Amino acid sequence: MLALGKLLDLTLAGHEPAAKVQLTSEGARLRWLAEGVLEVTPPADADSGLDLLLSAGVHGNETAPIELLDRLLQDIARGALKPRARLLFLFGNPEAMRRGERYIEQDINRLFNGKHEQTSGFEALRAGELERLAANFFSKAERTRLHYDLHTAIRGSKIEQFALYPWAEGRAHSTHELARLYAAGIEAVLLQSKASITFSSYTYARLGAEAFTLELGKARPFGQNQVVSLDRLDARLRSLISGTEPDVAKSLDGLQLFAVAREVIKRSDEFKLHVPADIENFSELPQGYLLAEDIAGMRWVVEEEGARLIFPNPKVKNGLRAAILVVPGSLPA
């Protein structure tokens, strides 16, 4: 197997490879671009026209998707998976991966779309580097652009595998892409309705890619992800990479769609979130429930029918989102 196929090992060891470019026996080119970042270019006569960015490890302790990308890349490097798409494999926060931490100083996934320019530190620098790498990768005209940013959640979930679909002015959410996600094992999609500061929001709004944040179960240490079944996603990614993707159903029957009702923003150190510490994502909350309180008598009371809670985290920094209330949603007619 080509040495560059061991990108995860190189990243965890903090080693820069001596050979930055290698070719598979079929002529696909592997090129090391930066720590944790590898570009794969198929032979010109086999190129499907797809540019596929696969990122994981933006939060360093979310190991299941990191291991998934490692398996895909190793199979490409040994010739078992023959790429017809241009690929960018990207491990987002190498230092956090080495330490087994979500992040070191700042959450990288809150530093895109200009936010990294408003702060300092190595994670802010890394966010800027990731933007540049993605922009360079998606700079070729007349190609299909697709980005999956793979994560696992801090907590368990009533819906284990779900996606967040970013928003941009003037763009409609794609039924085809939603059907593709459903075929890959994604059970629910949150359709966002305003700009965000995540990696997938950057590639969607700024670079014109179809882009998604995929939540793939609960975060666990390396080697402890046997309970997370990513077989359907693995199969779909392999078919995208190899240019053998089967047709997806035109119907979205069975896929649950949600819309953001409200975001709960933490304003001060007095913020209190009134839910159990082990509450699962997509837990339902009754109307009238006092969800959170903050300074100056600020209160969040559940008003929406069928409201569910995702990403509750009272430990975020002041000014950041501490929870999202979602409700059943649908695509515009």
Mean per-residue pLDDT of the chain: 94
CATH number at residue 323: 2.40.50.630
250 in a domain, yes or no? no
What does the pLDDT look like over 104-124, one tens digit per residue? Answer: 999 999 999 988 998 899 999
Of the candidates 242, 275, 300, which is a domain's last residue? 242
H/E stretch holding 213 = strand 210-218
Q: Are 159 and 302 members of one domain?
A: no
What does the pLDDT look like over 8-46, one tens digit per residue? Answer: 999 999 999 999 999 999 999 999 999 999 999 999 999
256 in a domain, yes or no? no
Residues 6+ apart with CB under 8 A from 39: 29, 30, 31, 33, 86, 87, 88, 89, 137
What does the pLDDT look like over 242-286, one tens digit per residue? Answer: 999 998 888 899 999 999 999 999 999 999 999 999 999 999 999
pLDDT of residue 226: 56
Least confident of 24-28, 173-177, 218-222: 218-222
Q: Are 132 and 224 members of one domain?
A: yes
- As a whole number of angstroms, the distance between CA 93 and CA 104 comes to 9
Q: Are 198 and 269 members of one domain?
A: no
294 in a domain, yes or no? yes
Mean pLDDT of 157-185: 95
Phi, psi for 210 (deg, rounded to 5): -75, 125
Residue-number span of the structural domain to which 322 is assigned: 262-328
Q: Kindly tell me if the per-residue pLDDT of 218 is higher than 80.
A: no
Q: Are 224 and 312 members of one domain?
A: no
Mean pLDDT of 299-328: 94
CATH number at residue 25: 3.40.630.10
Q: Are 154 and 282 members of one domain?
A: no
Q: Kindly tell me if the per-residue pLDDT of 312 is higher than 80.
A: yes
Q: Are 171 and 199 members of one domain?
A: yes
Phi, psi for 165 (deg, rounded to 5): -105, 110
284 in a domain, yes or no? yes
pLDDT of residue 248: 87
64 in a domain, yes or no? yes
Q: Are 35 and 128 members of one domain?
A: yes
For 185, left (φ over 0), alpha (ψ -120 to 50), or beta?
left
- As a whole number of angstroms, the distance between CA 4 and CA 15 comes to 11
Say if residue 194 is exposed, middle or buried (CB neighbours under 10 Å; 0-12, 13-18, 19+).
exposed
Q: Which residues are catalytic?
A: 215
Res. 155 pLDDT band, cuts 50 70 90: confident
Res. 156 pLDDT band, cuts 50 70 90: confident
Predicted structure pTM score = 0.94
H/E stretch holding 13 = helix 7-13
Residue (of 261, 271, 333, 264) closest to 304 by Cα position: 261
Total domain count, the chain: 2
